[in-house]
Copies of this chain bind each other. A is one copy, B any other.
Amino acid sequence: MEMSNALRASVLVHALPYIQKYNHKTVVIKYGGSAMIHEELKDAVMEDICLLRQVGLNVVLVHGGGPEISETLKRMGKESVFKNGLRVTDAETAQIVQMVLAGKINKDLVKLINNKGGSAIGLCGLDGGMMEARPKDPSLELGYVGELTAIRPRPVSALLEQGYIPVVAGIAYDDEGNVYNINADTAAAELAGKLGAECLISVTDESGILADKNDPASLISRVNIRTAKRLMEEGVIGGGMIPKTQCCIEALKAGVKKVFIIDGRVPHSILMELLTDEGLGTMFTKN
């Protein structure tokens, strides 16, 4: 990048009021799915997280899975069956999901953050009894796809106090020792609520909420709960954006002050959203 150091310094100074605004505040970043594919973009997200922590924010990363789960299942001879877009998860599949999420993706993200100079520790919902769940589908046809029945954020807040960046995988348990796969958007929204987070940022591979899904220029940069619900009813918000939007609404109701869906395909979109005067994606507000 050809740029004078004078210009660089000036950019830093322009970020100052934004940095001051978020000082000591907690920001939960949800990151997963297709947004995780390109290594360069993943690098940029981890750099953003390190920078935010360094300038005084308490950053928590909640991540989903993505293609590695399907690949591993396939290599281990388990066929993936989907129902309404959710993976039918038998006990063995749940254990493989736990293994890939908590052992591979989680620790790889930890390694990447540490590599950028941060200090991350990887947890899943089993650690410190953090997330309890029951089957999301009462008919049990989905198997061990779970919904949270209890969330205890102390391991995360203890690590924040010690200066670490907690990285959390959405795996939960029940009293009988079963494990459940928890949707990362849901886990992030509920954790943000319990932590009293200032901000929840969902990093996706879309631009945000579009008024016309074929026109990227039709981005809705700000939407309140009532309008978001109407847009879902009218079908303007559809597909994978529906559960994301619902999680955003839940997070607002749980007391999170600012909730964003941003475009992970744009490098450093998290920094742009938090530390410049320009919003990139869609911001959800209570009213």
**Chain A residues within 8 Å of B, Cβ to Cβ:** 1, 3, 5-17, 19-20, 23, 44, 47-48, 50-51, 54-56, 72, 75-77, 95, 98-104, 106-107, 110-112, 114-117, 119-124, 126-129, 155, 158-159, 162, 164, 171, 173, 177, 179, 266-269, 271-272, 275-278, 280
Q: Are A162 and B173 in contact (CB under 8 A)?
A: no
Q: Are A126 and B111 in contact (CB under 8 A)?
A: yes
Bound-complex Cα distance A13 to B12 (A) = 10
Bound-complex Cα distance A14 to B267 (A) = 13
Among B19, B23, B76, B278, point to the contact of A76 (Cβ < 8 A).
Answer: B76
Q: Are A171 and B107 in contact (CB under 8 A)?
A: yes
A51 CB to closest chain B CB (Å) equals 5
* A179 proximity list for chain B (CB < 8 A): 111
A107 CB to closest chain B CB (Å) equals 5
A166 CB to closest chain B CB (Å) equals 10
* A126 proximity list for chain B (CB < 8 A): 107, 110-111, 114, 122
Q: Are B266 and A55 in contact (CB under 8 A)?
A: no
Among B48, B77, B100, B266, point to the contact of A6 (Cβ < 8 A).
Answer: B266
Please judge, given known A-B contacts A107-B102, A114-B126, A123-B121, whether A11 and B3 are in contact too, CB under 8 Å: yes
Bound-complex Cα distance A271 to B8 (A) = 9
* A7 proximity list for chain B (CB < 8 A): 1, 3, 11
Bound-complex Cα distance A86 to B194 (A) = 46
A-B contact pairs, 26 of them (CB 8 A): A1-B10, A5-B276, A6-B266, A6-B267, A6-B268, A6-B272, A8-B11, A8-B15, A9-B269, A9-B272, A9-B275, A11-B11, A12-B268, A13-B44, A17-B117, A19-B54, A72-B76, A75-B75, A99-B100, A100-B103, A101-B103, A102-B107, A111-B173, A115-B177, A119-B129, A122-B127
Most buried by B among A5, A15, A72: A5
Please judge, given known A-B contacts A9-B275, A122-B126, A276-B9, whether A103 and B107 are in contact too, CB under 8 Å: yes
Among B104, B119, B267, point to the contact of A128 (Cβ < 8 A).
Answer: B119
* A19 proximity list for chain B (CB < 8 A): 51, 54-55
* A117 proximity list for chain B (CB < 8 A): 16-17, 20
